[in-house]
A and B are shown apart, each in its own frame.
Chain A
Amino acid sequence: MYIAVKGGEHAIEASRQLLAAARRGDADVPALEVAQVEQQLGLLVGRVMAEASLYDPRLAALAIRQACGDAIEAAFLLRAYRTTLPRFAYSEPLDTDRMRVDRRVSAIFKDLPGGQLLGPTFDYTQRLLEFGALASGTTASDAAALDTPRQDVPNALTQLAREGLVEPCLPSLGDPEPPDITRDPPAYPLPRTGWLQMLARADEGWVLGMGYSTQRGYAHTHPFAGDLRCGKVAIELIPDELDFPIEIGEIELTECQMINQFVGSAEVAPVFTRGQGLVFGRGERKAIAMSLVDRALRAAEFGEDSSSPAQQQEFALPQGNSVEASGFVQHLKLPHYVTFESELQLIRKLREDVHARATQSVDGDLA
């Protein structure tokens, strides 16, 4: 007797227990503590906070451990939790010029006010595996902080903007108050504030690929990394009871202001234009890629041809939502036997039709 394969409550419960065991791994190895994840896997914590749109390093670390280190699953856990949180206020716009930077580089000037500050970066590590760490548990790079963060480093674009060579840092013409893309359903075309939000929480790999595509001929942006900075920025809000802003804390951010050539149009004199990337944590790769995509998406604003994928909102944005994409791609695991059965019957009938026609024409030829 055949038994249809259908899962039941017992199978689900067993699967949950197996997952818990797989998560823990070998019980002889000490369990990973949430604080260790938060302190020692900081880039992953930042990525998960960015893709979850929730700045909470401790909960992000908890989610990463619970997700066995899977960044998208961790972002999913954090987003589901975020849904349940009330909104009690909106902060004042962040002023990244006042960032306490522990890294700031500009590719457009040899030296500039505030200086070039490498800070902690993989860029010059030479990428040799530190085999010694396998045995001792410590690494040669363990060292005390050498430098203290710098405050009030002016943005490298400020002077150029003053001279009118770079467009001012203002909302694009006609942009409304920013929508909340996690509360309001998207209506395309989105204003720039909407697409920047979508890019900020988009999958890092997707944004990287989209940004990269603009460097390979799919859209032309002629980019220069004007100002790339990473550090802590104060969050301020004006409570109902007061008429001045108060500081309620600070968050770690990475910002990239990309400068792009623009040759001008009938209405606008030639000027350098901006693309902006801003993400939680030390997400430098993503901030740079995001600034490329942001500029590409402004094609219509500058009357540029917009035939490349990175310039098309409805392609570049919704597909980058890692949690949505992951869920829908993986839902193919769910049973589809009703729809498949329908297809099966259709294909059988179509084949019968074709076969019948072939037989008929053979009969016709013989007659």
Chain B
Amino acid sequence: MTNQAAIAEGYNFAYLDERTKKMIRRALLKAVAIPGHQVPFGSREMPLAYGWGTGGIQVTAAVIGRDDVLKVIDQGSDDTTNAVNIRQFFARTTGVRTTTRTREATLIQTRHRIPEAALVPGQVLVYQVPQPEPLYRLEPRRAETTKLHAAEEYGLMNVKLYEDLAQWGRVETSYDYPVKVDGRYVMSPSPIPAFDNPKMHRMPALQLFGAGREKRLYAIPPYTDVRSLDFEDHPFHIEPHGEACARCGDTTTFLDEIAGADGSVRWTCSDTDWCADRIDQGHRGKERGHAHG
């Protein structure tokens, strides 16, 4: 979509200076070496607002190279305003090729979703993380949670899950559902729907997480065990929507629910690239069966 000529004048490749990128890469190496452990890093003040992906942007800036092909999604879509803005930012400051196709991308920055298409070895998935501390609702003092992680003391979290089951019969967490990485650290998967959690388990791609405002990075190396927290007698499971995408007919993906003025509801794939791919392959939902599709 862009080319080398587009690189913004007066700024280093990918905005950050090389020493800052090196500092971030060193923190990332540590993060990869200790899967799921939050590594503090010297998060910089970026020209995009905190809470809008400054952590993900710094991680992407630190690892992106001239041969990378970048995809940016928000809510599963390449066309949401913040995804457009971040993609433009990197197009301007790096000149690298951008894409909306999951399979073409070498580097994918995401907010709130994991692509439906299985990622492959060599791809890197960068998550934007608002709150890296999975225990923060139970213990807001970071000086304390650091100790809890160090001692692998996750009793608070287990009690919380138990109380949910006792009170409601199910865990009252539908997104940002905590996981245990490599059998050691409890980790926030970022606010992806619990529906996406199983995709993290033994994923062939490298998963990197950046929390700019909270100044923490963490990572999951390829093929690492990632288990959603549960109990033996109440195993984690995802419940299907029970709906099909109106455009491509898929019943296995995460769907957006769009309310119509007449009270009707339309369901479509949240992952717009997946949906377009399926339509290209000839799949049709109930809307696409007609001539106007």
Chain B contacts for A346, CB-based, 8 A: 170, 172, 174
> Known contacts A7-B80, A345-B239, A345-B241; is A184 also within 8 Å of B42 by CB?
yes
Q: Is B69 an interface residue (CB 8 A)?
A: no
A180 to B167, CA, bound (A): 47
Q: Is B161 an interface residue (CB 8 A)?
A: no
Q: How many residues of B are counted as interface, with CB atoms below 8 angstroms from the partner's CB atoms?
A: 62
* Chain B CB within 10 Å, residue with most, of A2, A80, A184: A2
A257 to B168, CA, bound (A): 55
Q: Is A82 an interface residue (CB 8 A)?
A: yes
Q: How far is the CB of B28 from chain A (nearest CB, A)?
A: 14
Q: Are B45 and A83 in contact (CB under 8 A)?
A: yes
Q: Are B45 and A79 in contact (CB under 8 A)?
A: yes
Chain B contacts for A345, CB-based, 8 A: 174, 239, 241
Q: Are A327 and B174 in contact (CB under 8 A)?
A: no
> Known contacts A6-B79, A324-B50; is A183 also within 8 Å of B42 by CB?
yes
Q: Is A113 an interface residue (CB 8 A)?
A: no
> Known contacts A328-B213, A341-B257; is A12 also within 8 Å of B112 by CB?
no
Chain A contacts for B198, CB-based, 8 A: none
A48 to B266, CA, bound (A): 47
**Contact residue among A1, A79, A86, A349 (Cβ-Cβ distance under 8 Å from B170):** A349
B residues 84-142 touching A (CB-CB < 8 Å):
84-85, 88, 111-113, 130, 140-142
Chain B contacts for A189, CB-based, 8 A: 143
Of A24-32, A99-107, A260-268, A329-337, which stretch is located at the interface? A329-337
> Known contacts A185-B40, A189-B143, A353-B168; is A334 also within 8 Å of B215 by CB?
no
Q: Are B47 and A80 in contact (CB under 8 A)?
A: yes
Q: Are B130 and A331 in contact (CB under 8 A)?
A: yes
Q: Are B45 and A8 in contact (CB under 8 A)?
A: no
A251 to B73, CA, bound (A): 45
Q: Is B44 an interface residue (CB 8 A)?
A: yes
Chain B contacts for A9, CB-based, 8 A: 84, 88
Q: Is B191 an interface residue (CB 8 A)?
A: yes
Chain B contacts for A8, CB-based, 8 A: 79, 81, 84
Q: Is A4 an interface residue (CB 8 A)?
A: yes
**Contact residue among B88, B113, B142, B258 (Cβ-Cβ distance under 8 Å from A188):** B142
Chain B contacts for A80, CB-based, 8 A: 45-47
A350 to B41, CA, bound (A): 40
Chain A contacts for B142, CB-based, 8 A: 188, 314
Q: How many residues of A are counted as interface, with CB atoms below 8 angstroms from the partner's CB atoms?
A: 48
A328 to B128, CA, bound (A): 13
Chain A: CB-nearest residue to B268: A4
Chain A contacts for B75, CB-based, 8 A: 335-338
A344 to B265, CA, bound (A): 14
- Name B's interface SS: loop
A187 to B17, CA, bound (A): 25
Q: Is B263 an interface residue (CB 8 A)?
A: no
Q: Mark B233-246, 1 if CB is under 8 A from A, else 0.
A: 00000010100000
A186 to B42, CA, bound (A): 9
> Known contacts A80-B47, A342-B195; is A4 also within 8 Å of B256 by CB?
yes
Q: Are B174 and A342 in contact (CB under 8 A)?
A: yes
Chain A: CB-nearest residue to B77: A6
Q: Is A84 an interface residue (CB 8 A)?
A: yes
Q: Are A323 and B45 in contact (CB under 8 A)?
A: yes
> Known contacts A338-B113, A338-B175; is A4 also within 8 Å of B258 by CB?
yes
A307 to B170, CA, bound (A): 36
Sample 9 A-B pairs with CB under 8 A, ordered by A number: A83-B44, A84-B17, A327-B54, A338-B113, A338-B254, A345-B239, A346-B172, A350-B168, A353-B168
Chain B residues close to A by CB (< 8 Å): 11, 17, 40-47, 49-52, 54, 74-77, 79-82, 84-85, 88, 111-113, 130, 140-143, 168-170, 172, 174-176, 191-195, 213, 215-216, 239, 241, 254-258, 260, 266, 268, 270, 287, 292
Since A2-B266, A314-B143 are in contact, a sample of 19 more A-B pairs with Cβ atoms closer than 8 Å, ordered by chain A residue number, is A6-B81, A7-B79, A76-B49, A80-B46, A83-B44, A84-B11, A86-B17, A314-B141, A323-B50, A326-B49, A327-B49, A328-B213, A329-B51, A330-B49, A335-B74, A338-B75, A339-B174, A341-B254, A346-B172
Chain A residues close to B by CB (< 8 Å): 1-2, 4, 6-9, 11-12, 76, 79-80, 82-84, 86, 182-189, 314, 323-324, 326-331, 334-339, 341-346, 349-350, 353
Question: Nearest 4 pairs between A and B by C-beta?
Answer: A327-B50, A331-B51, A7-B81, A327-B49
